Structures are given as C-alpha cells and as structure tokens.
Structure 1
Amino acid sequence: MPEDLRDLSARDVLDAATSTLRTRRLLEVQELRVLEQWVAMHGADPLDGLDARGREHARAIGKVLRQLGGEGTPGVQDFCLGEIALAREEHVNATRSAMADVLDLVHRMPLTWAVCLAGDAEVWVARTVASRSRRVPADRMWIVDQAVARMIATESIKRILDVADAKIIEADTGTHEDEVAEAKQRGFAAVGQTEDDGTRMVVARIDAADGPGIDAVLERVAEALLTSHPDATLDERRSMAMGYFGRLGQLFELLLRGVDPTTDPNTDPDAIARALAIPADVLDLLRDPAIAARIAPQAKLYVHLHEAVLLGEEGVARVEGLGAMTLSELQVLLARHNVVVQPVIDLSDRVRTTAYEHPESIKERVHLITGGDYWPYASSTGRGVDYDHPTPYRPGAPPDHPPQTGTHNSGPLGRRHHRWKTRAGFTSRQCGHGRYVWLTPHGLAFLVDHRGSRRIDPDEARQMLGAGEQVELYFPDQPLSVEINLRR
C-alpha cells in the first residue's frame, strides 16, 4: 500500500478497506492461536506424580489444572496465566477470557472456527457466541456450531447473535429453564462504576411486592423536587429522587414537606402516617433534627486534588470510587452533609515498622502512593487487597537489621496476583517511592510506577533486583520505536 493514501484512486481505497479488514481478522485469529499454543505447552496436570500430601499442598496454593472453556476443552495450569497476560500487556482476566473462547472455538465449534481461520468472519462475534454457549454440554454444541457457521460470514451481527441465542436454548433447554427460575429468586442490588459524565447506574432485583412502594416514594420525591427543579423532566427528577435513598435525613425532609400537622390543623396525623407508610410515632421522632442526623448514613470519602485548585486555579479532583470531577461538582457532592476533614498525610514520609503485619497507617500510605494493585497492568484500584512485601520478609533478622515492613517495602496485590508472585516464580522488588520492578519466570521485565506499567530491558531489571538494600537504580528511558507520518 502506498505510504501516502492520497495517491490512491477511489477503487484503490475500497480495495484497501477490504484488505485491511481481512488482515485485521487474521491477526486476531493469530492472537487466539498463540493462546491455544500456550495452553498446549501448559496442559499437563501439576498434580500428576505427587503423593497425597503433595497433592493437598498443591491444591492449597492453587497449583492446579483449571478448565477455562466449556465441557470437552483441555485444562491449563493456573500458574501459567499471569505471564502470558503480561506478554499481552493486559489484565489476566482479559487473557483468561480470550483463552477460554479460543478453546471453545477449537474444540466445541470447529465449523465456526474454520470460517474465522479463513478470515471471513468477525472474531469477536465468534468469541461472543462461544462465551454465551459455554454451559451447553459438549454433545449438544453441534446445534449451535452448525447454525452459526452457516451465517457468520454473510449475516448481520444482530441476526447472528439472535440465532445463536435461540440455538443455545434449543441445545440445552433444561439448563435454560433452570436459569430462568433461579433468576426470579435471585435478589441483588448493585451500584455501577462512574461514567465519564459523572453518573452511575443503580440496578436491583427485588421482590415484586416491594416494587410499588419504591415507585411511590420515587414519585413523591420527584413531585417534591418540582419546586426546586421546575425545568427538569419527570425522569430527571426521579433520577434525583433515587439519590435521596443514600441521604435519609434529606429524604424524610422531602417526604414530610408540606404535611406537617403542627402547621396545618386540618391535617390528620394518622392519614399522613398511612400515606407515607411510616408509623405516626416514628414520624414524630424523624421531625427531631438530632434524630435525623443520627440516622444519616456515614461514609469515608477520599478526595485527591492539588492545593492550587482550592486557590481558584483550573483543575479537577479525583474521588475514589466516583472518578474525576470539577471543584463545583465536588461542592455539590459535599453540600448539606456534615463533613469532617481528616489530617493530610505527607506521603513523602517513609514510615517503617519491625512487625511482619502491615499496620493500618502504613496500608493507608501505601494505597495512596500506589493507587491500587502493583501487579503490571492490574486494573484494580480498590482497597480490598493483600499487602505484600516485594522483598520477602525474613523472620529472625538480627536486632540491628533495618525494619522490613514499611512504605519502602510494601505493595498492594490482589489475592491471585499475590499467590502467583509467591508461588509461580515471579520476582519483584520495590526500588523507589511507589516504584516496582518485576521479572517473570521466562525473563520478561516490567516497571510499575506513577506513569503506569511498561516493559524494560531484562538486564536492567536484573540489576535493579540485585542491587543492595536501600539502593535504587534508575536507567534512562528508551525512546519509542514508533514513527508517525504527519506530512500533509
């Protein structure tokens, strides 16, 4: 293809679009084939040849064979997943999902996989069908495979997936009916992640009998909000009303607004209680500001922002669990709440202790420094992690040995990452403030710091790992080997 696309004719551009499409599809197939080969290289059961005690120990540490795909697919050693994910520069869950999909395609959907191998189908569509049909028994998968293979190269994506869903039900009607029945009995309530526009989805599955009451409260609060938000639509006000479920004091204030029997002698207190589905004696208590304050929910909010923003300069605040927001948005978030500001932690301090366990004060500092899991390309920014010693803790060190636990030798790891680091041959070391070097069993090297995760030269990593205690090595960054043609 010519370097300058402007030299192409209209027909050449159309041909290039088709050629690029086919090339992309074949590259995606090759990505999956690489994962298939990794499974083949790590498909032996690690429990084979072990005695009963050895097998028990291997299971306890997670050194087992896991079946990621559906029935009839080969297993893969759990400990091998982390390294291939790092080679792909992504979270292990994404690699695990792709590996399960290719195993299903190869072993359970060979006809559909053949169409993908020829570059005639969108790989992600085939993967979607493989994932949705994972519960289907192996001896019934031909129903799904035949139907999808006939149409995946010629039909629209929606039609393909609609037919696939129908065939999945046809192939395993009993399981489908069981799942439908279970779904009706399964209750849950969840708050989604913060979207780019600062909103979050709230989804719940509740008892049908509770639905009308919740709807009535939303409608009543939405009506009360009409005075303060006359231009908002009903849907917008109902959305606002949902937020009041997390602010009980304000919720009751709105519910009671305009129906206070102390100011309206014609109002029947019992009628009010019945309308709000709240006992009359409880209503009396809720009118007491002290009681309302006591039942208000309490939460600890972590807000990160530069001092310049507080002085009026442009900038944003980052609120853990909610994402980025402007200072005005933060003011709205905190408005009408009792806010207690905790002392600012100076993260430049290096706090240490001689104990093996991490005190809460050190955990707090380490989390604020790292921002979450320090495994390369990890996506977790939560606090539900293990606090690891990158340089393993050595019990029985002499009294004059420097403390081994502290912000100088601590990093948050998810439980799976922690297990792999401890048992699967990965090596790490903290080599600076929030700066960690990793070396995988097959010699891939990564550096994790305030700029994220990136590959580094393995020899540099070995030097960093082998440096003496309290020695931090820094190497000049290598320039990116990418050339971008900006000619116009």
Structure 2
Amino acid sequence: MDIDLAELSAAELLARAEANVAVRRQGEVDQLLLALAWCDRNSADPQNVPGAVPVSRGGDRLVRIGGDGTPEVAELCVAELAIAFEAGHVGTHHLVAAALDLRHRLPLLWQRVLDLAVPAWLARKVASMSRDLDRTAVGLVDAAVAAAVGQSPTRILRLAEAKVIEADLAAHRARVAKDAAATGCWLSRPRPGDLVDPTSATGEAATRRISAKLPAGAAVELDAVIDDLADALAAHQDLADEEQPATRGQLRAEALALLADPHAAAAFLDGLHDPAPEQRPPGPRRKAVVHVHVSALALTGLLPGVARVEQLGPFLLDQLGRLLGRRDITLQPVLDLAAVTSVDAYEHPALVRERAIQRMGGDVFPHSTGGTARLDMDHPEPYVPPPRGGPPGQTGDRNAAPLTRTHHRIKTHGHLPDGGGGYQVRQVALTAYRWVTPHGLGRVVTPHGTTPVEILRAPDGTVIGEVYTRPRYGLELALEHR
C-alpha cells in the first residue's frame, strides 16, 4: 500500500476495498493471459525437432490439455511455467486447461472474465465442470452462465451444473451408474497443519472420521443398526453426579466404534438380556502397519510428547499409546539420516532411497506438492556405466533425487522447443538441490521449500553459482555441508 491505511476514514477504507477487487481480478486475468501466451509459444510439435527423443522413450509430444476444440500444446512445457508461477505442476496444468477452455470453448464467459465482471476462479470452475462436453454442446453452458453474471457464485455454479447435465443427458446417466458402483469406506487423513489450525474444517486433534459410499439400502440398514445400538447405550449410561449425558451424536459414534469389535458388540447386546452372558473367544485381528516418528527426547519427557504417524498426522504420546495398544507391535530399525554410502551399481539401495525420501519429505522438483508415495530415484549427476568411463561410487546419498514419475520424465526430456538445453539439477548438499530450467529460471529445493535464486554463469554459459534472491529460514542449514 502506498498510504497509511490507519489515516483513512471508514468510507475511504471501503472504497479502497472495492478498488482492490478489480486489482485482484486483473492479476488473475493476467495469469491466465500469461498461460495462454506460453501455450501459443509451445504449440509446435516437439517430435518435428531434429534428434527428438521418441514418444515411446518418454520424449515430448503435443497433447490436448483442454477440452474438445482447444489447440494442442507441448506436454512438458507446463512444468517450467509452474516454476515461474511458484506453483505445483498439477495445479498449473489445471490452470492452463481452464485458460484454453475459456478462450476457445467459452468465449462469452471469457469476455466477462476479461471485463473483470467474473472472478477467474469461478470461470475456471465452470470450465472444469464442462470440459467433457464437445465444442457444440458446451455453447449451452457458455450462454447460460454469461447471462447470469451478477448472481452469486453458488447460483452460477448450480446453473452451470444443470446446463452441463442438460447438454449431455446420456453422459450424466453414465456418471450416475458409475457413481453407484463406486462404493468404498475410508479413514480421514488430515493435512499437515490441520490439527492446530482453528480455521480448518477438517482439523481433528483427537479423532478421525470414517466415511463410506454404500448402496442406498445398505446405508439405511447400517444407519438403523447404529441407531438401535445408540439407543441401548443411552438406556444404560452410568452417569456420575453432575455428569452430562452423552449427546445423540456421541452415542452414535460410540455405537459405530463398538461395531469395530463385533464380539464386544454382541456381548454388550447379549448382556442387556443375560446378566452373565457366555464369553466368546476373540476373533483373530488383522495386522496393521503404521510408521511412527518420535524423538527419544520426547519418550524420556525432555521434549513435548508429540509423535508423527505417517498418513494419520501428529499424535500425542498418550494418543499413540491408545493407537498402538490394540496392535501387535514389530519394531523396525531407525534410519540414520546423516549416514552416507555409495555403490557402483545403477539402482539406488533401499536404505539410500529411504534416507533420501525421509530427508526431503518427498519429491524434490521445484514447488512440488507431491508426497512420499510412488517416487522414482533419479541421479542428479547422470550415471555413466563403468565400461564408458564412469567412476566408481556414482550411486548413493550424494547423488539421489526423489521425483514423481511425471517430474522424472520432465527432468529427463523437457527441452527447449528447438531441442536446446533442458533441466539441470545438482545436489549441492544432502538436503539441497539446485535446479535451472530450460529458460534459465533458478530454484533451490530444500526440506523447507523452494527458494528462487539468480543463476551466475561464466562467459561460456556454464553455471558457476547462485545468489539467493529470497532467503528462507533453514536454507543455510541445508547448505552448510555442501
């Protein structure tokens, strides 16, 4: 801000707030226009470049990112744009698809976006909802939504949803049939930060949610069983003085938890009619594997007692005891993340792979949002087989970069449209990777995130160093052992 907001009157503050809407929307429009210009710049077929890597070997190719009627774009070009936006590759891919849809399939809505009458996020949502329609049918959605500008976002989305269904009834019937077959049951997995974020709708410090998609009849029957068991629990509450009775929701939750042990549920129900029911032998338990990260200092009480359970999030030590109390525990050896080894083979040993993933917390591609699942292990310094002069010990902790399969392919085959330079990555420390994109954007990735850097080059173009343009906490720690 160019002025002290504290000096403005209430009316002036509101006027600035109104003006800010246009500024914010213009920034979002500019981002869409940049994405479209980048697509136009990368619309030539990469396979026509002399010496292009064949598609069968992972080479770049033209793909249609948007819906029917949008132009094709070089598949691997989106990654570098994502880096420039300091965003994830998948999120930028969705933004590019929406921008192409708006310009080529939803021209009436696109014009309203350019006029700043519709926020870009809302137009992008409509584009995503209607992407499966052909270029003719999508016109029905475009006309209806453009005419509804000025209504609330909720109403516009409901209108768009109705028009998408109307434009292709057969496709919606197929969606209904597919959804009817998509049954399942899932345990909630909180995202990092949710447990202590008061604004999070999914924060669960002591509980987890079970969600399920069931056939309607089975869902109704299960609901009735839970209700019956909750009624029995309510009738047999043993309340101490001044203790509040459990709410209906708490009773239903207790009933569902009781159903997790069918023998205990049956014993409870039998006990309602028989004061001394026959004890049933417990059935076999299915083993569960959980990975728990906890400091030895926490176990001894010298640090706060918080452990991290993979896929479930942070747990207090007493919560951890309850989690593990119903399991047969097998201890696995602790990984020493400071250990460094190297081997002469091409494949990274399992311990090297695990250490690299644990050090970095997942994918090391710039601005990646990927986790620890399904990662390739790349050699930042390319592996050269010994028969061709490669030195010994090329594979190890100091030459190991966890990458998703998509990012691995982008790093390997993402080149300039003329076939020129590609991605360069150097592991400058055990927990730091310096990237240079085909067009010269510099980034350093550490466990603390991605930091933009200015790349220093020698007269011949060789990268000789970097200047950190936006320092971040922990970056120096990651680089101190380079």
Give me the whole-angstrom Cα distance separating, in 1, the residues matched to 2:254 and 2:59. Answer: 46
Counterpart of 1:111 in structure 2 is 108
CA distance in 1, matches of 2:66, 2:188: 27
Aligned equivalent of 1:236, options 250, 255, 279: 250
Gaps of 5+ in 2: 191-201, 240-244, 415-421, 473-482
Whether 1:160 and 2:152 are equivalent positions in the alignment is no
> Quick check: 2:379–2:399 contact (8 Å CA) kept in 1?
yes
Q: Give CA-to-partner distance per residue, 1:225-275, whole Å, 9 cap, x none.
A: 767897443433444555677xx6x44334334638xx878x7x9xxxxxx
Q: For residues 237-252 of structure 1, what are the structure 2 equivalents within 5 Å?
A: 237-239=251-253, 242=256, 250-252=261-263
Alignment partner of 1:206 is 2:206 = no
Q: Which amino acid aligns with 1:259?
A: D
Give the Cα–Cα distance (whole angstroms) in 2 for the partners of residues 39 and 302 of structure 1.
43
1:126–1:344 CA distance, 2 compared to 1 (3 A): same
Assess, with a 3 A threshold, how the Cα gap between structure 1 residues 64 and 225 changes in structure 2: closer, same or farther. Answer: farther
Secondary structure, counterpart of 2:357 in structure 1? helix
Q: Deviations over 1:429-470 (max 9, x none)?
A: 22212221111111111111122211112128999x968xxx
Does residue 382 (structure 1) correspond to residue 372 (structure 2)? The answer is: yes
Q: Which residue of 2 aligns with 1:485?
A: none
Aligned to 1:412: 402
State the percentage of identical aligned residues. Answer: 34
User: Which residue does the alignment assign to 1:310?
Assistant: 299
Q: Return the offset for 1:25.
A: 0.6
Q: Which of 316, 321, 333 is equivalent to 1:343?
A: 333
Q: Which moved more, 1:40-49 or 1:204-213?
A: 204-213
- TM-score of the superposition, structure 2-length normalised? 0.82
Aligned runs of 1:155-304 on 2, under 5 Å?
155-194=151-190, 195-198=202-205, 199-208=207-216, 210-211=218-219, 214-215=222-223, 218-219=226-227, 231-239=245-253, 242=256, 250-257=261-268, 259=270, 287-289=280-282, 292=283, 295-304=284-293
Residue 240 to residue 34, structure 1, CA distance change in 2 (3 Å)? farther
CA distance in 1, matches of 2:125, 2:391: 55
Report if aligned partners of 2:188, 2:209 keep a CA contact under 8 Å in 1: yes
1:319 maps onto 2:316 in alignment: no
The match for 1:14 is 14
Q: Secondary structure at the match of 1:81?
A: helix
Larger mean Cα displacement after TM superposition, 367-376 or 19-28: 367-376
Q: Deviations over 1:4-29 (max 9, x none)?
A: 11222333222211111111111110
- In 1, Cα distance between equivalents of 2:36 and 2:75: 15
Shift of 1:92: 0.7
Relative to structure 2, which stretch is displaced further, 295-304 or 197-206?
197-206
> Could you tell me how far apart the structure 1 residues matched to 2:124 and 2:327 are?
47
Measure, in 2, the Cα distance between the counterparts of 1:303 and 1:164. Answer: 45
Corresponding residue number in structure 1 for 2:143: 146
Counterpart residue type for residue 434 of structure 2:
V
1:333 matches 2:323 = yes
Q: Which residue of 1 aligns with 2:80?
A: 83
Per-residue CA distance 1:20-58 (angstroms, 9 max, x = gap): 11111111101111001111011122344789xx79x32
Would the aligned equivalents of 1:437 and 1:461 in 2 still touch at CA under 8 Å? no
The 8 Å contact of residues 373 and 381 in structure 1, kept in 2 or not, is answered as yes
Once the two structures are superposed, what CA deviation does each residue of 1:278-300 show, in whole Å capped at 9, x if it has no partner?
xxxxxx9xx445xx3xx322233
Which structure exhibits the higher relative contact order, with contacts defined as CA atoms closer than 8 Å and separated by 6 or more residues?
2
Checking the alignment, whether the CA contact within 8 Å between 2:366 and 2:445 is kept in structure 1 is yes
Instruction: Read off the aligned partner of 2:203 and give its amino acid letter.
Output: D
Distance change >3 Å, CA 18–CA 170, structure 1 → 2: same
Separation in structure 2 between the aligned mates of residue 177 and residue 229 of structure 1, nearest angstrom: 51
| Greater mean deviation of Cα atoms: 33-42 or 232-241 | 232-241
Q: How many angstroms apart in 1 are the aligned matches of 2:453 and 2:133?
A: 43
Aligned letter for 2:67?
A: G
Distance 1:104 1:29 in 2: 14
In 2, Cα distance between equivalents of 1:96 and 1:164: 22
1:450: which partner in 2? 447
State the distance in 2 between where 1:365 and 1:461 align: 34
Whether the 8 Å contact between 1:445 and 1:461 is mirrored in structure 2 is: no
